[in-house]
Structure 1
Amino acid sequence: MTDKSSYNDMLRKFGTDLGLPKLNVDDLMQAQKKNLEALTQSAKVAAQGAQAVAQKQREVMEAGLREAATLAREYKPLKVRENITLQSEFARKMFEIAVKGAQESASTARQSTTEAVKIIQDRMKESFEEFRASVRPNKPT
């Protein structure tokens, strides 16, 4: 049975004979650490975007409830014409609130998603360059 060092020597010689490039393991480990940091930063941006969208939806709900309360206060039994006018105005305001809220939520979600993806894209570019720089041709001895 052959000991561990002879297997390592045998593999090292095999790699040298094939002309495989040498890798700087420390540089690769540092690159992976940066990759994880970029993923963390991207996730934070996405989470902040989700929180902002939830806040926009809450604001839309609050505005809708305010309008409903106003309608209820102004409602007059047995005055059909005025009530129809109030209900029509309520429906128009609710539609405007919903459309505005949807536009703002979509814009916020798009912005946070774009930022999160850009963080990952930039890190991938950097990582590729770091990997290229860490690979050195193996010169047979």
Structure 2
Amino acid sequence: MTDKKNTDDLVSMFMNFGKDMKLPSPDLEAIVERHKKNLQALDTAAKTAGSGASEIMARQRAMVQEALEEISAMAETVKGGGGPQSLMTAQAEFARRSFEAAIKNTSEIAGIAQKSSTEAFKVLQQNMQETLEEARRAMTQTKK
């Protein structure tokens, strides 16, 4: 029981200290509103990042499908027979196309990831700028 009373006394002491020093009281509604905006910005950034991840997964699935189709076509070529020279040529062509596709696909995935993370960062950056601007306005208003 006495701990609660001591805590209340301590809180009251600090509140009275602030009043005695004529410190400005914070605008609680503005603080709560800013926190709501912060949470909304985090939600938007998370959705943006999640959307980018979904896009990457969908594209990777399509890339795997394309690779499987390419492998099937190669298997048909090998199954069709032909001389050793034609098989070597087909394998070399398959290896070249696979290598080119891997480079193109890696670049494409990196581009999607970069775009998604840039968009998410812009949301957070804009929110930080708004927060700083609100804090600056609040500080300049109390000085008047």
Size of the alignment, in residue pairs? Answer: 139
Equivalent residue runs for 1:7-22 within 5 Å: 10-22=13-25
* 1:107–1:100 CA distance, 2 compared to 1 (3 A): same
Please give the alpha-carbon distance, in whole angstroms, between the structure 1 residues aligned to 2:75 and 2:61. 21
Equivalent residue runs for 1:45-124 within 5 Å: 45-75=48-78, 76-77=80-81, 79-124=83-128
The two structures have a TM-score, normalised by structure 2, of 0.83
Identity %: 34
Please give the alpha-carbon distance, in whole angstroms, between the structure 2 residues aligned to 1:37 and 1:59. 33
Q: CA deviation at 1:32?
A: 0.1
Q: Give structure 1 stretches of 5+ with no counterpart.
A: none
Consecutive aligned runs of 4 or more in structure 1 exceeding 4 Å deviation: 1-9
CA RMSD of aligned residues (A): 2.6
Residues 71 and 86 in structure 1, CA contact (< 8 A), matched pair in contact too = yes
Q: CA deviation at 1:82?
A: 0.8
Q: Aligned residue for 1:137?
A: 142
The two structures have a TM-score, normalised by structure 1, of 0.85
Q: CA deviation at 1:7?
A: 5.8
Please give the alpha-carbon distance, in whole angstroms, between the structure 1 residues aligned to 2:7 and 2:75. 84
Q: Give structure 2 stretches of 5+ with no counterpart.
A: none
